[in-house]
Each structure stands twice: as C-alpha cells, then as structure tokens.
Chain A
Amino acid sequence: MATPWYRRISEGLAKSRGRLEGQLNVLVGRGPDLDVAFWEDLEDVLVGADIGVAAVTDIVERLRDTASRKALPDAESVIEHLAEEIASEFPTDVSDPLAVSPVVILVVGVNGTGKTTTIGKLAKEAVDAGRSVLLGSADTFRAAAIEQLDIIAERASVPVISRERGADPAAVTFDTVVAANERRPDLTLIDTAGRLHTSADLMKELQKVQRVAKRETLAPVMTLLVMDATTGQNGLAQARKFDAALKLDGIVLTKLDGTAKGGIAVAIVRELGLPVVRVGIGEGIDDLKPFVAEEFARALIGRG
C-alpha cells in the first residue's frame, strides 16, 4: 500500500519507528488482557508522539469504547483500530489551496520552522508541474533571509521580488502582488519573517501584510502556517494565535524526516480543523509531499 514518499518517511523514521513499534509491541506482548496498565501505557506512547494529553485522553477513551463495543479480543486488534481513530481526526475532502490558479500564498510561522526552505520546495513543485511562479521576499528582518530566498529562487529558476533589509514587509508584499497582477504567475509565494505568536506587534505587522495582499491582488490569498514537526504542545498555542490573527487556510508540517512525528498536528486539527496541506520529509528540494491522513497516522504509531 505504501506510496514512494511514504517509504521515504519510513526510512527516515526507521530508528524511531523501531522505538515506538517496540513500545507498541510490548503492549501487544501483554496478551489479551486489556488491563488498566495497557491503556495507561498506550496513552504514554501517544503522548510521546506529541499528540498532547487532552487529545490522547479523548482518543484512548474512544478506543476503549470501540474495544468493548466491538469486543476486540486483544491488544493487537486495539492497536489496529488506533490508526483509524487518529486518521479520522483529519478533515476529509480538503481542497488543496496550492492547486488553485492563480493564487497568492502567504507563508507564516514562528522562527526556524523552515518557511523559506518550504517556499523553495513549493516553487520547485509548481515549476515541475509546469506552473509559473513568483516569489516575494517579505522577510526583511532576519539577517540574510533575502539572500537565502534569492538563492532558492535561482535554484528553482523563478523570479523574486525584494527590497533592502529593514524595508516594510507590507511594502514588499505590495510590490510582489502588483507584479503578480501584471505578470500573472499561477503561483505567488510570499515569505515572511519568523515571529513568535506571543509578539502582538509582529502579529499586527503580519495582519497588515495580509491586508495589503488581499487588497491589491486579483487572485485569492491563502495563508499557510509552517510548523516544525518537533514542536511540542506550544504548537497548539502557535496555531491558535496565527489563526486568530490571520485565519489560516492550512498547515505545512516540516522536518518530518527527523524522529519527530508531528503529533501536534493531531491536536491542532482537532481544535482548529485546519488541513495539513503538505509535509516536508527531507532536505532535498523535492522532499515536500501531499499529506495523507491514513499514512501519517500509521507512521505516527509506527505501523507503517
């Protein structure tokens, strides 16, 4: 069943999968007794994947319910159901905001999640699909962010609109969107400076950027939150604040190629209903893939 990209994750996760799988196997090894300790251990395994206590408690409760309702005979069958339970948390039939043409995508997130890298990958993906791309460099704060995007643009052979460091990000956004209106690329990607969601001023700056983009563009504007898969429970606070400020259209989960499973996405989806539109599974420019809930869920519990 496994698709090629999924195998990539599987390989990347080999170690941790072994670890988690080992844990689950220990659970299975308990035999048919679904005792209190079994459920507690199961909770630990899921909490260990960063799903978060609240979501885990709920998922396990439902699983217990299913177990008794369907008279699941043993631990193995319970764990089989687990992946389904987790996958069912994600919304189905989500349209891909990146497939719209033309579209302006605003890429936001806290510092160091991989926004600029993700833009490079999204640009490559679009170019490979024969779509035209324009980049906007609205991260005017971080040292050398503009240079980094320049290099990325060059590698993907796409044009980039930028100003000097320290310029008003809304102004760069304006330039980019105006250029997009003229050149009519299929996909316009705007990079923004990483910022902590707790910084009210910087969140306002971002609202302004979004406002300008929406006001000036002829295309729909979508806002994607880039989140590092290693993020813990603070990821929920991040998603809440960014969504409250900007009304997000989706999440890109990066660095899934590490040992981190990105379980926080489960917690976020449960609360905010945001779709995960892409996952970053490697350092290569092609290592950005569509999100498939079932596969993600199975990887999460080490049952690929």
Chain B
Amino acid sequence: MFQNLSERLQSIFADLTGRGRLSEADVDTAMREIRLALLEADVNFKVVKSFVERVRQRTVGAEVSKSLTPGQTVVRIVLEELTSLLGETESRLILTSRIPGIVMLVGLQGSGKTTAAAKLANHLRKQGKRPILIACDIYRPAAIDQLESLGRELDIPVFRGEGTDVEAIAKAGVKEAIASMRDLAIVDTAGRLHVDEKMMDEAARVKAALKPDQVLMVVDAMTGQDAVTAAAAFSERVDFDGVIMSKLDGDARGGAALSIREVTGKPIVFAGVGERLDALEPFHPDRMAKRILGMGDVVTLIEKATEAADADLTEEMEERLRKAEFTFDDFLLQLTHLKKMGGIGDMLKMLPGAGHFKDLDAAEIDERQLDRVAAIIRSMTAEERANPKLLNGSRRERIARGAGVTVFDVNQLVKQFNQARKLMKQLQSGGPGKKKRGGFGMPGGMRLPS
C-alpha cells in the first residue's frame, strides 16, 4: 500500500536538514510525488499539471520555517493550494426568499441523484423547511417508485406527474407544492450520459421552465478522469450552481471534486457519506484536500465524536470517572457511542495514515470484538454492572453463557476494567491539577479482549 503524500515527502526530504531555502532539485522530486498522489486520487491530469506548476513556483525558494521540516513545508504549501482550489470556506446552499424554493438535481446515470434528492429533502427539513419531492425521471424503470418509497420512509410527500412531458410534470409539481403549502421543491431528473444531446436538452428545458434557485449536479466520488468532461458538458448546457459528491463513504479519494472545481469553478456543497438517509453532510474543502492527499480527516472524526456523545450523560460519566466510580454501564454507553460514530471502520478511515490498514480489515475484526464486549456487559445484571466486585466465578460463568463467549473472555474484560479503574484512581490521587478531561476517550489502559 502506498504511503500518504505527507509521509512520502517527509522521506524525500529526510536528508535535508536544517533551514534555508529549498533548491530546485529538491523540489523536482517532491513535485513528482505530488503529481503521482493527485493522479492516484483521480484528479484530472490537466488539472494536476497546472496545479503542480503552481505549487512548484511557490515552493522553489520557499523559506523553510524554524518549526517545520522541509517536507512539512512542502506539504503545507500543497494543502494550502489544494484548499484554496477547492474553495476557501464551505459553501452553503443559497435559496432565494421565493416560495416555494426550487432545487433541481442533475447528473450522470447511477451517480445517486434520487438518493441525494431524498437526503437533501431530509437535511433541509431539519433546517425548518417543508419540502416536497418532484419525480421527473420518467425513463429509468421504477425510478419514480424509488423516490416515492424514499419519501414514504422520510414522511415527505412525493409528486408524480402524468405523461411523458417532463417540463409539464415539473411545473405541475411546483403547483402542487404551492397547493400543499410546501416551501421547498426538490426536483429529481433523469440520469443521462452527457453525450446524449436529447437528455441534456431536456434538463436545460426543465431548468428554463422552473427557474430553480439552485441546480446541483450529483457526482459520484469514484469518478475518474472523465469527471471534467461530464462537468464541463453539464456546466455548458445546464449551468449548475454547485455539486453534491456522492458515495464519499467509500475509500475513493475523490479527486474528481478538485477537477470539477477547477474546470467549472462550481463549489462542492454537500457530500453523501452513507446509505442511510441522514448521511448527507456539508462539504468541507480543507478536509477534502487532506483526503485527496491521503492524510486523513481528524476534524470530522472529532466532530462525529462530539455529535454522537450525549452531552449530559458524558458529564455525569465524567463525574463518576473522577471519583473512579466508572461502571460497566458507562463502558457500554461508550461502546454505543463508538457505534453511532460509524464504528471503528469508519473512524480508522479518517485517521491519518489509515491507508496502511486498508488491506488488513482490522476494522472488521474489531467491530466484532466490540459486539462481543457489549454482549458480555449486557449479560450482567444491573447490580453487577454497577459493582464489578460481585463478579465471582459462578456469576462469570453465567455471563459467559449468556453472551456466548468463554469465561476467559469475561475474565479478561473484568481484569482490564479493573485495571482501568485503578488507573483512574491513580490519576485522581495525582491531584486535581493533573486531572485531565477525559472527554470522549476510553479510559486509559482499557483494551478490548483480543
């Protein structure tokens, strides 16, 4: 498995010690690595070329600051340039004050428009909108059924028109939105191969008929070099306002985001990050830059942790932690949070250097261990959870039977739990000054049985 760019650059510059300015020869080697990293991430080769040239110009003669190594300096420059290319700040969906607001989705076949439409409706409803979905994909068999079914799941109405006149259906949908007091209409259109003039034309006509506030192009994060061709064609014919990147929950680097941004100047607004209908997130350029370079996404990880942890419970738990009264119930709660965060697999992917793990499927194994630990705790009585000292041999045997594990597994968990508690106590006796806010993390020393 290849290293991430940061590591590669560090090793290139390993010999280069101290400060000073970077020489042209040093930079050449680095630029080759950057080019390779971007191409592996599916950034369009032309975009790569101009990008590398820009970075080179900034890098040659760049001052290596005291705090950074030459490698780190180059990485910083690359990240800055990438981020500025992807858009300095996160872009928001801008709707006019018109009611109903209209958002139209376009994209290639299989990019995930219908799913994105439902996710977007769900997302905007959370922000206080009353959306309606308008089904305009009259070509793909059952596409309308799919949208209806998603609408039912979300309890969001779906308008399905009659006939084959897509413009008329779209217009009727907007009328229906007004009649049913909906303030936002999300229009799902047919997917197309962008070489298909007729379909492209239809999208342009629907746009002209509806004059939507926003036209969003849905782009599959796994798209390769052709992303620019598709985006340019849509940009020319339909002139979209922004992009939803779908399927970013896989391990694709998503270089297409960079290519599209560079070629069309359109911002990426949302990212689809899972199969569930709430798996749509605002797009963060800085994080995407790191992902493209294979440098992980620590910020998202932290945010997910914060989101998942129920604030009150955590404080209560911290209090108990401080008093070293941490119980198995608290531990179970933490496990649940871990799962809410998308499980260990998701988290690993966001960690810097996660590329190393890709072949190991370590995440998968750990996930099962988590389940096992949860099963063990759930097989304990409330009393036992609160007071682990109760756990004698026969109780442990019963728990092992209940959880479908061996007594050895139970023993191991209890042992680790006690060690963690002891550690807590030691930390506490170190005085309040040394007290560390545990926040979300597992208590130190707590390890899962292997």
Residues of A within 8 A of B (CB): 12, 15-16, 44, 47-50, 52-53, 110-114, 141-145, 147-148, 150-152, 165, 196-198, 200, 228, 230-235, 237-238, 255, 257-261, 263-264, 283
13 contacts between A and B (CB under 8 A): A49-B225, A50-B226, A110-B247, A144-B142, A144-B147, A198-B250, A200-B345, A230-B108, A230-B227, A255-B110, A258-B230, A260-B225, A264-B224
Question: Per-position contact with A for B102-115: 1 when CB-CB < 8 Å, else 0?
Answer: 00000011111000
Contact B225 A144 (CB under 8 A): no
CB-defined contacts of A235 to chain B, threshold 8 Å: 222, 224
A178 CB to closest chain B CB (Å) equals 26
Q: Which of B34-42, B329-337, B394-402 contacts A (4 or more CB under 8 A)?
A: B34-42
Q: Which of A114, A143, A152, A230 contacts B149 (CB 8 A)?
A: A143
**Residue of B with least CB distance to A234:** B252
CB-defined contacts of B264 to chain A, threshold 8 Å: none
A265 CB to closest chain B CB (Å) equals 11
In chain B, positions 237-256 with a C-beta closer than 8 Å to chain A are 247, 249-253, 255-256
* B193 part of interface (Cβ distance < 8 Å): yes
CB-defined contacts of B247 to chain A, threshold 8 Å: 110-112, 196
- Residue with the highest number of chain B CB atoms closer than 10 Å, among A112, A141, A144, A237: A112
Contact B222 A110 (CB under 8 A): yes
Also in contact, A110 and B250, with CB within 8 A (given A151-B141, A233-B40):
yes
Contact B140 A148 (CB under 8 A): yes
Contact B41 A231 (CB under 8 A): no
CA distance A49 to B45 in the complex (A): 10
CB-defined contacts of A53 to chain B, threshold 8 Å: 36, 39-40
CA distance A172 to B61 in the complex (A): 65
- Residue with the highest number of chain B CB atoms closer than 10 Å, among A12, A110, A233, A263: A233
Q: Which of B112, B147, B222 contacts A231 (CB 8 A)?
A: B222
Residues of B within 8 A of A (CB): 36, 39-42, 44-46, 49, 108-112, 140-150, 153, 193-196, 220-227, 229-230, 247, 249-253, 255-256, 275, 345, 349, 358, 361, 363-364, 367
Q: Which of A15, A142, A198 contacts B146 (CB 8 A)?
A: A142
Contact B193 A50 (CB under 8 A): no
Contact B250 A147 (CB under 8 A): no
Q: Which of B112, B141, B147 contacts A111 (CB 8 A)?
A: B112
CB-defined contacts of B196 to chain A, threshold 8 Å: 283
Contact A260 B249 (CB under 8 A): no
Also in contact, A230 and B145, with CB within 8 A (given A112-B112, A200-B364):
no
Contact A234 B141 (CB under 8 A): no
B168 CB to closest chain A CB (Å) equals 23
B160 CB to closest chain A CB (Å) equals 12
B138 CB to closest chain A CB (Å) equals 13
Contact A257 B226 (CB under 8 A): no
Interface majority SS on A: helix, strand, loop or mixed? loop
B186 CB to closest chain A CB (Å) equals 16
Also in contact, A232 and B222, with CB within 8 A (given A110-B247, A259-B194):
yes
CB-defined contacts of A258 to chain B, threshold 8 Å: 108, 193-195, 226, 230
Contact B145 A233 (CB under 8 A): no
Also in contact, A196 and B140, with CB within 8 A (given A231-B223, A232-B225):
no
CB-defined contacts of B253 to chain A, threshold 8 Å: 233-234
Also in contact, A198 and B110, with CB within 8 A (given A47-B45, A258-B226):
no
Also in contact, A47 and B225, with CB within 8 A (given A111-B247, A232-B252):
yes
CB-defined contacts of B249 to chain A, threshold 8 Å: 196, 198
Q: Which of A112, A152, A200, A233 contacts B220 (CB 8 A)?
A: A112
CA distance A264 to B222 in the complex (A): 12
Contact A200 B195 (CB under 8 A): no
CB-defined contacts of B141 to chain A, threshold 8 Å: 147-148, 151-152
Q: Kindly list the 3 A-B residue pairs having the minimum CB-CB distance in the complex, ordered from nearest.
A: A232-B224, A112-B110, A232-B42
CA distance A237 to B359 in the complex (A): 10
**Residue of A with least CB distance to B38:** A53
CA distance A56 to B253 in the complex (A): 19
CA distance A267 to B432 in the complex (A): 59
- Residue with the highest number of chain B CB atoms closer than 10 Å, among A50, A147, A150: A147
CA distance A15 to B224 in the complex (A): 18
Q: Which of B46, B49, B250, B367 contacts A197 (CB 8 A)?
A: B250
Contact A234 B145 (CB under 8 A): no
CA distance A274 to B49 in the complex (A): 32
CA distance A113 to B220 in the complex (A): 10
B348 CB to closest chain A CB (Å) equals 11
- Residue with the highest number of chain A CB atoms closer than 10 Å, among B226, B251, B252, B253: B226
Contact B150 A143 (CB under 8 A): yes
Q: Which of B42, B44, B112, B142 contacts A233 (CB 8 A)?
A: B42
**Residue of B with least CB distance to A203:** B364
**Residue of B with least CB distance to A240:** B359
**Residue of B with least CB distance to A200:** B364
CB-defined contacts of B252 to chain A, threshold 8 Å: 232, 234, 237
CA distance A67 to B154 in the complex (A): 62
CA distance A52 to B196 in the complex (A): 27
A206 CB to closest chain B CB (Å) equals 14
B28 CB to closest chain A CB (Å) equals 13
Also in contact, A230 and B195, with CB within 8 A (given A16-B229, A111-B247, A144-B146):
no
Contact B145 A259 (CB under 8 A): no
CA distance A40 to B339 in the complex (A): 47
CA distance A234 to B291 in the complex (A): 14
CA distance A143 to B147 in the complex (A): 7
CA distance A152 to B229 in the complex (A): 30
Also in contact, A44 and B45, with CB within 8 A (given A230-B226, A258-B226):
yes
